[in-house]
């Protein structure tokens, strides 16, 4: 095997991501991008709270002027936090966003339904990024790999790594190396296996691109923090990962102390101030979760002194024992058109007895259904006060008023 080349990405004028650089923490706005005032205010808040990059969803070409305006207003306010545009399904939008922001996150597989066209569009996109000094994140999530990949390789961690390698080959061919890769999943075991497999394949290929880590749709509160610590912490303790986002179904600023904790625990950055309760949860999750996930231990020893609830949550986050339903909930973003956080709380309260079931609550109908790959049941906000309910990835009820949606979900589960 040739000696691999470990690459670094550069975002904006100063931020470096890769080996030798500090772990970079980031988050994402949940404002509507067309609401420039609100998005600028949230970017300023997040940058002030320690975010080193802030991602903004850009649903289509119509949002490009707002994106430019947001960038200009931030710079005018003296805030130089690099912005990342989050693009799905529109290569035309990605091409325009690449001229404005420091980094663009795409899943090139959904650039076009025809795979060969998607490959050509991706190569064209790289040239625009090269011209404008823009970094790229190839972001493939479990559940949104696309039919071409799942037909070829299934929906496995290996398929995720192979899909990423296909796009990285195009980058290598184009000699475009300003690239970061992510392979997120809500299942911590799948997520860890996917990143390990990708690392192995990149090393074999001779080019190791920086990795963005995250447990996607981790939910909120204690379970969301624990799952994130287990997935991200397992990889960081193996030396895998260069930037991270802790995705929580909470206001985005709440993600940053957890991300900063992980960056401090596994890197060189200073430990953030945390409440003793939060510190206890994060310490316990990082101490015992990776060892459970890697099957180095089968139980948390009594000598750890954890209460039963915290032990149970860590066992479930590491997927060793399930004592309640498994919830998948996206953090929400500019595509979210309903009260995601409130609906998630209600769904949790009404389904807490359904031990072992996997229930997803997702913020939008565009990406939500694809992203909740593992869910038995899905509750997806359509916008306009309407919700769709999915069973095993298929819609079973559409356009239900959100005031009725939880009752209808429970009826369906009972009937099942």
Q: Which residues bind ligand SF4 (CB under 6 A)?
A: 330-333, 335-336, 362-364, 366-368, 371
Give CA–CA dist 386/319, Å, rounded.
Answer: 33
Q: Which is nearer to ligand SF4, 87 or 318 (CB)?
A: 87
Minimum CB distance to ligand SF4, residue 163 (Å) = 18
Contacts of 401 (CB under 8 A, 6+ apart): 385, 386, 387
Give CA–CA dist 184/217, Å, rounded.
Answer: 9
Name the residue with tokens 């966003």: 97
Minimum CB distance to ligand SF4, residue 43 (Å) = 17
Q: Which is nearer to ligand SF4, 223 or 363 (CB)?
A: 363
Minimum CB distance to ligand SF4, residue 363 (Å) = 3
DSSP 3-state of 176 = coil
Minimum CB distance to ligand SF4, residue 362 (Å) = 5
Name the residue with tokens 């981790």: 218
Give CA–CA dist 327/356, Å, rounded.
Answer: 10
Minimum CB distance to ligand SF4, residue 321 (Å) = 28
Q: What share of the chain is helix, strand, coil (3-state, %, to 5)?
A: 45, 20, 35
Minimum CB distance to ligand SF4, residue 42 (Å) = 14
In this chain, which residue has its C-beta nearest to ligand SF4?
363
Q: Which is nearer to ligand SF4, 120 or 386 (CB)?
A: 386
**In this structure, what token pair is assigned to residue 212?**
């963005």
Q: Are strands 358-362 and 377-383 parallel, antiparallel or unpaired?
A: parallel
Give CA–CA dist 81/39, Å, rounded.
Answer: 13
Q: Which is nearer to ligand SF4, 286 or 328 (CB)?
A: 328
Residues making up the chain, counted from first to last: 416
Give CA–CA dist 245/248, Å, rounded.
Answer: 9
List the 24-28 sheet strands across, edge first: 179-184, 135-141, 103-106, 83-86, 53-57, 24-28, 243-244, 212-213
Give CA–CA dist 335/156, Å, rounded.
Answer: 27
Q: Which is nearer to ligand SF4, 371 or 382 (CB)?
A: 371
Minimum CB distance to ligand SF4, residue 38 (Å) = 16
Q: Which is nearer to ligand SF4, 18 or 59 (CB)?
A: 59
Angle of CA points 195, 151, 370, to nearest 5° = 65
Minimum CB distance to ligand SF4, residue 332 (Å) = 5
DSSP 3-state of 247 = coil
Minimum CB distance to ligand SF4, residue 307 (Å) = 32
Q: Which is nearer to ligand SF4, 95 or 248 (CB)?
A: 248
CA neighbor of 136 nearest in space, from 61, 84, 198, 188: 84
Q: Which is nearer to ligand SF4, 10 or 103 (CB)?
A: 103
Q: Which is nearer to ligand SF4, 166 or 371 (CB)?
A: 371
CA neighbor of 27 nearest in space, from 331, 273, 275, 268: 331
Minimum CB distance to ligand SF4, residue 357 (Å) = 20
**In this structure, what token pair is assigned to residue 100?**
């404005």
Minimum CB distance to ligand SF4, residue 385 (Å) = 16
Q: Which is nearer to ligand SF4, 290 or 332 (CB)?
A: 332
Q: Which is nearer to ligand SF4, 12 or 139 (CB)?
A: 139
């Amino acid at each position: 095997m040739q000696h691999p080349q470990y690459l670094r990405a550069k975002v904006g004028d100063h931020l470096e991501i890769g080996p030798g650089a500090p772990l970079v923490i980031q988050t994402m706005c949940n404002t509507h991008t067309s609401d420039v005032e609100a998005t600028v205010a949230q970017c300023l808040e997040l940058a002030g709270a320690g975010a080193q990059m802030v991602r903004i969803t850009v649903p289509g070409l119509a949002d490009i002027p707002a994106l430019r305006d947001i960038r200009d207003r931030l710079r005018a306010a003296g805030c130089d936090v690099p912005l990342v545009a989050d693009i799905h399904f529109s290569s035309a939008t990605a091409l325009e966003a690449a001229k404005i922001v420091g980094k663009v996150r795409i899943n090139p597989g959904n650039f076009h339904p025809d795979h060969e066209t998607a490959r050509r569009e991706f190569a064209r996109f790289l040239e625009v990024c090269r011209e404008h000094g823009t970094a790229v994140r190839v972001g493939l999530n479990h559940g949104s790999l696309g039919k071409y990949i799942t037909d070829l390789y299934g929906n496995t961690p290996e398929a995720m790594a192979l899909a990423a390698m296909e796009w990285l080959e195009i980058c290598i061919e184009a000699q475009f190396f300003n690239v970061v890769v992510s392979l997120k999943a809500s299942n911590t075991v799948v997520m860890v296996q996917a990143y390990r497999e990708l690392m192995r394949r990149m090393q074999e290929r001779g080019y190791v691109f920086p990795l963005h880590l995250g447990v996607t749709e981790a939910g909120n509160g204690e379970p969301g923090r624990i799952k994130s610590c287990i997935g991200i912490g397992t990889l960081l303790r193996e030396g895998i990962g260069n930037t991270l986002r802790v995705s929580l179904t909470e206001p985005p600023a709440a993600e940053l102390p957890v991300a900063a904790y992980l960056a401090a625990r596994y890197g060189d950055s200073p430990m953030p101030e945390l409440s003793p309760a939060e510190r206890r949860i994060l310490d316990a999750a990082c101490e015992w979760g990776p060892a459970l996930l890697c099957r180095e231990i089968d139980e948390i020893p009594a000598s750890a002194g954890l209460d039963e609830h915290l032990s149970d949550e860590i066992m479930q986050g590491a997927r060793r024992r399930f004592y309640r339903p498994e919830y998948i909930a996206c953090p929400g973003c500019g595509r979210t058109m309903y009260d995601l956080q409130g609906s998630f709380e209600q769904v949790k309260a009404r389904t807490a007895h359904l031990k072992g079931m996997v229930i997803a609550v997702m913020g939008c109908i565009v990406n939500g259904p694809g992203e909740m790959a593992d869910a038995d049941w899905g509750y997806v906000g359509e916008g306009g006060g309407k919700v769709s309910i999915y069973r095993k990835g298929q819609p079973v009820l559409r356009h239900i008023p959100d005031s009725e949606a939880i009752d209808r979900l429970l009826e369906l589960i009972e009937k099942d």
